Amino acid sequence: MQKPSAMLSMLSTAVEAGGFRDVDYALAKFIHNEAQDADPALLFSAALVSYQLGRGHVCLDLEACFDDPDSIFPVNASLLVDDPQYGCVTLQQCMTQIGYAAWIQRLAHAEIVGSGTGNTPLVLVGPRLYLRRYWQHERNIESMIQQRMAKTASIAATLTRHQALFQATLTSLFTAHQGPESDWQKLACAISARSAFSVITGGPGTGKTTTVVRLIALLQTLALADNKATPLTIRLAAPTGKAAARLQSAIASAISSLPVEVRTRVEAHLDSEVSTLHRLLGPQRDSRQFRYNARNPMPVDLLIIDEASMVDLDMMASVLSALPEHARLILIGDKDQLASVEAGSILGELCLRAEQGNYLPSTIDWIQQMTGEIIPSDLQNTAGDALSQHVVMLRKSHRFSDASGIGQLARAVNLGDIAAMRAVWHGAYKDIHYLHFPTDNLQTLTQQLAGKPTNQVIGSGYAAHFSRMSSSQPTLDEDLDTFDQWARSLLTEYSQFQVLCALRNGDAGVEGLNLKIEAALAGQGLIPTNQPWYSGRPVLVTQNNYSLGLMNGDIGLTLHYPLNAAGGRAWGLRVAFIGKDDAVHWVSPSRLNHIQTVYAMTVHKSQGSEFEHALLVLPPKMNPVLTRELLYTGITRAKARFTLVTLDNQTVPEEAAARRVKRASGLSF
């Protein structure tokens, strides 16, 4: 194999070709500087570890490098090796010739690669090669979750002693269940109540938020029964500002449906503000460290994290480290949604066996004794694992019935059942639509999205937004409350429809579609040409701005607004946002640094949001980003109507549904 210096040169060339990233090369160079005698195989493996982290993998699965190299290697890098034994071949061919066992031997270097103990920058465990930091994160997460799961027996015994109160509270929270099916919301409350760690997963409309509110009511009732002077300190959090705002609204709605005496108790002892995880931990200026950590735990008894599928390994490790030993942790989310943008797929790994249940006889007996509910026999397992006793999957959707095409399509995609997908599209469902455009007719799609010509499936497009805006605009002399009402109405209407893209770049990506939609709107005279700010421009906040009270994912509308001038009022432009306080906030465009136009947004950015009508545009050919999870997430952003758009290749949706996200990690419970 090439000398170390030649390997670095090859990696540098691969960066220029768009394969590896600068940071991947930098890690390999760092390893070389630290150990001049490091084998070229070690330098290349280090670069691959970094490259895989950028793709969301916690570690590099070396076995996969040999079993399926095309799924690992950078796609735009020509990695040629001038090897004295094999001649000029690709690195993949060279690795195959060397073999897995010999490659592992080449990684042996006491200063660089360790097995866990020590402080080597890389850790090799079996076939998995880690950066030490991520290996340590995994071990910390495993340890802290297992510590909480170990408390189940003592918590369950305490609840059994308060059985009468436990049962009476559950009865007041859950009306008599109709039908032969188990009441999974009630089961989720009971299972979570007997543990210091639990996971509640389920698709859209399965009642996750409702369950959380009732669980809070149950736990607070039990806590106050022990000591009326010490209610539980409860915090709710989500990964993004958008998800936090949505949870806050959903929690308020769910609390209003509680029985009066329970509602009063919950409202009196619940911090109504839902925070982002980042803000909850207390970020420190110019530092990666947080205010709350293992040495300074958060003052909390119960932490509930919503949209947990979006939480990456680094953040989960920080959260668990900052929790006091006695605190409970409950994770809420849809296990089938896209995982975090950063490395890790925590919720997905915790819910690997959620479909099968795997409940032990001891769990089943306790549940029946305390709730009267019976877990179906096909979800019982005498050899069930410990983690499964802490995971509950809500199985009944109250949003998507059997008559819903959205629900049926999401279910078929989730199963990777191509035949079922085709059957759904051929069914007479009124809430799903399919459009196909040749790529050279992409302009036709964007013109229809802009509103000209009108498409029956798309509707009147964004032209209707500008029509409503101009026809309802208050006059310059009207009071500011009227402008607030106008902005609120427009923001509510605008949020009913959203174009989603799988990709950020390219003609069929967010950047391309936003430009083309703006061009089509300008062609109709609805917006000015070549002006970045104009009345009606929708913008998406892409980075938290605490000074303005804006969170990553917030959407605002640019509108005409009366400003004070020397001669009285004059028109100006301000961007209207609806804040956590449900008030309209007007922000000067000059103060918004991290925003983008948002006629279209990525599916990733849409997580934590829902729209009456979601239109998903897929690219004309397959891309590594296109997976079952992305397709499912895009479909389930739609509450009442979903439209799928393909370009050129009509098989892309089926190919995407056949591919699952498989993130390399070594988490074990």
Q: Which residues are annotated as a binding site?
A: 202-209
CB atoms within 10 A of CB 251: 22
Looking at 287-390, which runs of residues are DSSP E strands? 302-305, 328-333
Q: Based on C-alpha coordinates, what's the Rg of the chain?
A: 27
The answer to whether 240 and 608 are in contact (CB under 8 A) is yes
- Nearest-angstrom CA–CA distance, 256 and 55: 42
Work out the burial of residue 520: count CB atoms within 10 Å of its CB; fewer than 13 is exposed, 13-18 middle, 19 or more buried: buried
Cα–chain center distance at 290: 22
Residue type, 302: L
Alpha helical stretches, state H, 384-417? 405-415
Torsion of CA 520, 522, 527, 530, to 10 degrees: 120
- Nearest-angstrom CA–CA distance, 343 and 311: 9
The answer to whether 330 and 304 are in contact (CB under 8 A) is yes
- φ, ψ of residue 510 in degrees (nearest 5): -60, -45
Count of helix runs (H) and strand runs (E) in the chain: 26, 22
In angstroms, the first-to-last Cα distance of the chain is 39
Which residues are annotated as part of the binding site for ATP? Answer: 202-209
- Nearest-angstrom CA–CA distance, 461 and 447: 9
Which structure tokens are listed for 163?
């059985």
CB atoms within 10 A of CB 145: 23
Residue-level length of the chain: 669
Instruction: Give me the sign of the Cα torsion angle 589, 594, 600, 601.
Output: negative
Cα–chain center distance at 646: 24
Closest CA relative to residue 329, chosen from 192, 217, 156, 191:
192
Helix (H) or strand (E) holding 657, with range, is helix 652-657
Closest CA relative to residue 642, chosen from 400, 334, 434, 461:
434
